[in-house]
Structure 1
Amino acid sequence: MNSISKKSWKHVQSKAVCLLLLLTAGRAVAQQPDYAAAEKYEASHLQELAGSLQQVPFFVKGDSSFWYRQALPGEKKDVYYMVDPRAKTKTLLSKVPEGGPFKKVFHSDVSPDTLWELYAEQHNLYLMKRNDSSFRQLTHTGEVYHSFASVADRDDMKGHMITDAVWSRDSRHFCMLRKDSRKVGTMTVLNSLFYGRPYINTYKYEWPMDTAVTQYEMYIGSTTADSLYKVNLTRWPDQEVQLITTKQPGEEMFLIRRKRTRDEMELCAVNMTTGVLRVVIHEESKPVINEDMFQVVIVNEGRDIFWWSDRTGWGQYYHYNREGRLLNALTQGNWTAGKLCATDTVKRCVYLYGYGREKERNPYYSFLYKVNFDGTGFTLLTPENATHHVFLSPKLDYLIDNYSRIDMPPGSVVRNMKGELMMEFFKADVSKLYAYGWKAPEPFIVKAKDGVTDLYGLMWKPFNFDSTKKYPVISQVYPGPQIETVWSEFTVTDRYNNTALAQMGFIVVCMGHRGNSPIRNAAYYKYGHGNLRDYALEDDKYGLEQLGSRFAYIDLNRVGIFGHSGGGMMTVAAMGTYPDFYKAGVASSGNHDNKIYNRTWGEVYQGFDKPYTNNQSLAANIKGSLMLVAGESDANVNPAHTMRMADALIHAGKDFDLLLLPGQSHTYEGVYKTYYEKRLRSFFAKHLLQ
């Protein structure tokens, strides 16, 4: 200050300010990440303040009264209530009801008359007479991976093992499936934290297009025979077979067999005495059957069969008789019929969920409906504009309805079977949560890249949000196709802890993509078939661009992306496909190479004869900052996926972060989950805020 005048110094300062403005023009000024706010709004803290958000009724035996457990907000204790729907009363209980919420499970290997019991020993099948414990051996060819026991992957089986047999109602016959996976290939993971020496887990694991896959056999036996009869299941090479075990079968046992290409399947009936098989229903749907929504319900010994199909372009139920003759459509229209919850064979009606039938409402909201066997009398039972989760009383005289929305805290009510409100017995207390400073995520709708299809999403903001500021945006992704991770119900502790991440100074969003959910129409669900790596990418980018043009506070020059499992795969694929758009990404446990992921996933969603693409081929394109994460002991998405991706990045000369979580499987738990989430937040703070 001594060498220049005050006037000159002010001139220098003015020039410096101008230079700074020029340097920062066109880019956001660095922001300080708010680690304290992120810590404050961790999911564990929010859960304590929220208490119970949904009630599960436990019905009193022989009655329609029920009790439930309620966790109190901000307190480490639970209270219990008894509800009597007839008297419309709720009573505080002084102690937990005896027996708790668990039902006694009847041993499936014991005959209905309790005189006989099947068991396996050294993988072979035995039949025991229970009154004197006398037994006889029925098979002699059982071995590991080709067993009559329900646990077939151990060669040190000693003592009695369960068999998953299904008995006929008259206790004279039984049937069972036997799987042969002896030739199936293996994969291996390591657990370095196992007691003593590190533990190596080697397990059977089928890849797409494998020539050696599990084969299925079906056997029928009787209490008077010393051997089993093998049923002729032959139809398609490498088919899969599933027994339909609703109740003890009468004259026939029902099963489903699936073609390996997943575009054909059949409902079959097998005579429990002769073993003769007949086809009841044949279903074909190109390019793939939607088995994420598929359900078959068989009642009245097969005289009434309810079969789900999207043959019209929308998933609906169809009513067949036991000969396979179509009697009528149970449901119909441009909406999706969901899970069939209960069947009343006396009143000849069913209760089922539905999606997208109520106009001007979110198509992901679930509603409960009632319809007669002949398709008449279709009735909405849960009318509130919300998503509903319903429990039916054992006598089918009351329904317990939990309903909520993202912007509406949960409530629980009792209704009669006409849907009429009887009483409200629970309303979530979120006052402490709001007093703590928490805010719900905000729903939004954008268009898919086709400019027509609506995509539904959620947005989390910092709770000190300032609309005059610019914020980086992070897309939390999961491409499905079996589920969409865009919550429709009230959520506090979302699966990915997006609330805490947003408090760092980010806008966090998640949205659906075409091909992302099985509960829209067939065209939406099957959009990505044959393009498993890339189908969701353009919708995510286009959705973010719409949000950026709609909201001035979103900075599209600072876009992040992260996801787990399929979301980890999508994260790397997005960064390699749009390298100038996504600036930073975290990919945890991603199935980066679907040729080495499980066969069912690949052959259902990519197709049996479609070429497979992997993320390694995109490594050279990636420009943004990337962190790869894997669980050391993940037997679902083997860490080989992450290692192969890392190898491709190394060969491409790319810098990246790699985090391997010791002893963790596909789901990270405890301190490892907390550590991963803190690393994720720090990573995005470093690359998007500073």
Structure 2
Amino acid sequence: GAPYPLTTDGTDDNFYGRTSDTTFDPVSALRSGEPVTPYALWSPDSTRILAFRVDQREVLPLYLVQDAPEDGTLRPKEYTFRYSMPGEEHVALYEPVTIEVDSRQIIRVRYEPWPETSMMDAGEWNLRWWNANGSTVYSLYVERGEKTLRFLEEDPVSGQVREILSESGESYRESNLDYGGFPNIYVYEKNGDIIWFSERDGYGHLYRYDRNGTLKNQITSGAWVVRTLLYVDEENDWIYFLAGGREPGRDPYYRHLYRVRPDGTGLILLTPEDADHEVSMAPDGTRFVDSYSRVDTIPRTVLRDAAGDLLLELEEGDISYLTSRGWKPPERITVKARDGSTDLYGLLIHPTTFDPRTGYPVVDAVYPGPQIIVTTKAFPSDYGYNSKIFWRAQALSELGFIVVNLDGLGTPYRSKAFHDVSYGNMGDAGGLADHVGGITDLARTRPYMDLDHVGMYGHSGGGFMTARALLLYPDFYTAGVASAGNHDNRLYGSYWGEKYGTPET
């Protein structure tokens, strides 16, 4: 049939269907002409849609000037959009609504609007979701500054809301250690119990609450972190999740699949290989596809049953073309942080013409986070951020450099204290002192690293880190390329600076 509008009351600065100008990049969207993926979610039976009405009317404007318009005219072209900066009075507000598709009725959820936070910057819908039969909506309300999370239950017919539980802290609270990741939350259909993610004991773990928000037990514990709540098998009483750092002697960033009982018993490792595991569960939870690799091993993909037993070897990667061109995997490295005890992990990347008898200048290729790491863990065979970083570093090494990737203090996927080193201290994100000390230690046993010629390269946050390195450590870093650095985070998006504690917010 013919298309028809579901809403008719939207305006330029009070609209449905996308995030605010601060996270959306409206000028780029306008100039590219590419279609916008709706910021909304269908119900299981396709009769309703979850959405937000975004109000940015009070957000201050920002301006861009295009000096050389594509039409060849000499007069610069001005673009205006709304952009909130850390500490400003107003940010975009997201009013939750449920839309009845057939009647086009808009049901306004009876709760205060969501302030814009980093969760809106993920590019994916992640704050409200349906239960299995579409009778209930669950949502995660993140307060401005992200120090408080509230878990809500919504009635999609009446718009009534029940607040089930909340958690607050001195620094940001996260429901998933992946930036903007889908919340590690699950509500049991059979009894209403809730699985909740928290770093309250210093590491990211799972907790079980009853339907009224009363804690029943901690499900996982220890000096390691849960990464992704992958699947809950209610019938057989198993919780499946990806985690890192539990297996002794392994890189703590490698993800492994585990399962555990809701009461915390029966924890077992299902993917034993010393590698990073990308796992996809079957819809019925009876088996899973496991693609595992390291930066120095080829990818292998297998099918396993729910107990982790091998059912079928599916595929093995082929890097013969790479090796025929002289490529060799990077060296995985471990150095100590500035405290002298914490292990830091990274890569040493050599040119294909590497000769250990020759001296090489060193380039520290950086990105300080604090929302992601820079070092590739799996084999860099996709189009993901870390793969792009790796191959750019490899290309740089071919010009005659030894290239270092290292994740210092203040970055994610370790303990809460490890990550919080950069909270309110963005200048120390990525750990410049850790980089200087780590590279110095590496060179003691690798005489081909020429520490009289050390440079740094980084883009965006890496550009900021590069400029800072040249100013703070001019006797160590003799050159640097700071690409598109955000050198003053007080001018960056409010959702970013306020989460990570930019001063004056």
TM over 0.5: yes
> Which residue of structure 2 lines up, in the alignment, with residue 437 of structure 1?
326
> Which residue of structure 2 lines up, in the alignment, with residue 348 of structure 1?
237
Aligned with residue 147 of structure 1, among 15, 35, 46: 15
1:281 partner amino acid: L
> Which residue of structure 2 lines up, in the alignment, with residue 44 of structure 1?
none
Judged with a 3 Å threshold, the aligned counterparts in structure 2 of structure 1 residues 541 and 423 are, in CA distance, closer, same or farther, namely: same
Q: C-alpha distance in 2, partners of 1:273/1:356?
A: 44
Q: Where do 1:588-599 residues align within 5 Å?
A: 588-599=483-494
Aligned with residue 40 of structure 2, among 164, 178, 196: 164
Q: Residue 478 of structure 1 contacts residue 570 of structure 1 at CA under 8 Å; is this kept in 2?
A: yes
Give 1:149 shift.
4.5
The reply on whether 1:205 has 2:91 as its aligned counterpart is no
> Which residue of structure 1 lines up, in the alignment, with residue 208 of structure 2?
319
Give 1:467 shift.
2.5
> Which residue of structure 2 lines up, in the alignment, with residue 261 of structure 1?
145
Q: C-alpha distance in 1, partners of 2:349/2:99?
A: 59
The reply on whether 1:298 has 2:149 as its aligned counterpart is no
The reply on whether 1:233 has 2:111 as its aligned counterpart is yes
Deviations 1:103-144 (A, max 9, x none): xxxxxxx9xxxxxx98335x42xxxxxxxxxxxxxxxxx322
Return 5+ residue gaps in structure 1 as ranges.
1-109, 111-116, 125-141, 613-690
The reply on whether 1:603 has 2:498 as its aligned counterpart is yes
Give 1:354 shift.
0.6
The reply on whether 1:120 has 2:6 as its aligned counterpart is yes
Aligned with residue 530 of structure 1, among 406, 409, 424: 424
Q: C-alpha distance in 2, partners of 1:322/1:119?
A: 37
Give 1:429 shift.
2.0
> Which residue of structure 1 lines up, in the alignment, with residue 396 of structure 2?
501
Give 1:201 shift.
4.3
> Which residue of structure 2 lines up, in the alignment, with residue 282 of structure 1?
166
Give 1:200 shift.
5.0
Q: Residue 306 of structure 1 contacts residue 319 of structure 1 at CA under 8 Å; is this kept in 2?
A: yes
Q: What SS does the aligned partner of 1:400 have?
A: strand
Give 1:596 shift.
1.1
Q: Residue 220 of structure 1 contacts residue 231 of structure 1 at CA under 8 Å; is this kept in 2?
A: yes
2:490 partner amino acid: K
Judged with a 3 Å threshold, the aligned counterparts in structure 2 of structure 1 residues 224 and 473 are, in CA distance, closer, same or farther, namely: closer
1:210 partner amino acid: E
Aligned with residue 511 of structure 1, among 393, 403, 406: 406
Give 1:229 shift.
5.5
Aligned with residue 186 of structure 1, among 61, 65, 74: 61
Judged with a 3 Å threshold, the aligned counterparts in structure 2 of structure 1 residues 591 and 385 are, in CA distance, closer, same or farther, namely: same
Q: C-alpha distance in 2, partners of 1:176/1:431?
A: 48
Aligned with residue 584 of structure 1, among 467, 471, 479: 479
Judged with a 3 Å threshold, the aligned counterparts in structure 2 of structure 1 residues 513 and 178 are, in CA distance, closer, same or farther, namely: same
2:468 partner amino acid: A
Q: C-alpha distance in 2, partners of 1:574/1:566?
A: 12
Q: Where do 1:2-13 residues align within 5 Å?
A: none
Deviations 1:365-404 (A, max 9, x none): 1101122333332221110111111122233222211111
Judged with a 3 Å threshold, the aligned counterparts in structure 2 of structure 1 residues 549 and 163 are, in CA distance, closer, same or farther, namely: closer
Give 1:520 shift.
0.6
Deviations 1:230-267 (A, max 9, x none): 44424998889974214466554222222212111100
1:177 partner amino acid: F
Return 5+ residue gaps in structure 2 as ranges.
31-36, 121-125, 178-182, 382-386
Q: C-alpha distance in 2, partners of 1:575/1:446?
A: 22
Give 1:442 shift.
0.6
Q: Residue 414 of structure 1 contacts residue 424 of structure 1 at CA under 8 Å; is this kept in 2?
A: yes
RMSD, aligned CA: 3.2
Q: Residue 166 of structure 1 contacts residue 248 of structure 1 at CA under 8 Å; is this kept in 2?
A: no
Q: C-alpha distance in 1, partners of 2:77/2:415?
A: 46
Q: C-alpha distance in 2, partners of 1:359/1:254?
A: 37
Q: Residue 93 of structure 2 contacts residue 114 of structure 2 at CA under 8 Å; is this kept in 1?
A: no
Paired residues in the alignment total 470
Q: What SS does the aligned partner of 1:511 have?
A: strand
The reply on whether 1:216 has 2:94 as its aligned counterpart is yes
* Higher radius of gyration, 1 or 2: 1
Q: Residue 414 of structure 1 contacts residue 425 of structure 1 at CA under 8 Å; is this kept in 2?
A: yes
Q: C-alpha distance in 1, partners of 2:211/2:89?
A: 36
Judged with a 3 Å threshold, the aligned counterparts in structure 2 of structure 1 residues 235 and 285 are, in CA distance, closer, same or farther, namely: farther
Q: C-alpha distance in 2, partners of 1:262/1:455?
A: 27
Judged with a 3 Å threshold, the aligned counterparts in structure 2 of structure 1 residues 181 and 466 are, in CA distance, closer, same or farther, namely: same
Q: C-alpha distance in 1, partners of 2:388/2:43?
A: 43
Q: C-alpha distance in 2, partners of 1:373/1:400?
A: 23
> Which residue of structure 2 lines up, in the alignment, with residue 481 of structure 1?
370
The reply on whether 1:521 has 2:412 as its aligned counterpart is no
Deviations 1:37-74 (A, max 9, x none): xxxxxxxxxxxxxxxxxxxxxxxxxxxxxxxxxxxxxx
Percent of residue pairs identical: 34
Deviations 1:165-221 (A, max 9, x none): 6659796x8764322111212334456463555765433222111112112323467
> Which residue of structure 2 lines up, in the alignment, with residue 564 of structure 1?
459
Which stretch of the first structure deviates more once superposed, 355-364 or 210-219? 210-219
Aligned with residue 459 of structure 1, among 345, 348, 352: 348
Give 1:359 shift.
0.8
Q: C-alpha distance in 1, partners of 2:176/2:79?
A: 29
> Which residue of structure 2 lines up, in the alignment, with residue 403 of structure 1?
292
Which stretch of the first structure deviates more once superposed, 306-315 or 342-351? 342-351
The reply on whether 1:334 has 2:212 as its aligned counterpart is no
2:418 partner amino acid: Y
Q: C-alpha distance in 2, partners of 1:235/1:369?
A: 37
Q: Residue 119 of structure 1 contacts residue 162 of structure 1 at CA under 8 Å; is this kept in 2?
A: no
Q: What SS does the aligned partner of 2:211 have?
A: coil
Judged with a 3 Å threshold, the aligned counterparts in structure 2 of structure 1 residues 150 and 350 are, in CA distance, closer, same or farther, namely: same
Q: Residue 144 of structure 1 contacts residue 152 of structure 1 at CA under 8 Å; is this kept in 2?
A: no
Q: C-alpha distance in 1, partners of 2:59/2:191?
A: 36
Judged with a 3 Å threshold, the aligned counterparts in structure 2 of structure 1 residues 478 and 222 are, in CA distance, closer, same or farther, namely: closer
Q: C-alpha distance in 2, partners of 1:194/1:317?
A: 53
Judged with a 3 Å threshold, the aligned counterparts in structure 2 of structure 1 residues 321 and 196 are, in CA distance, closer, same or farther, namely: farther
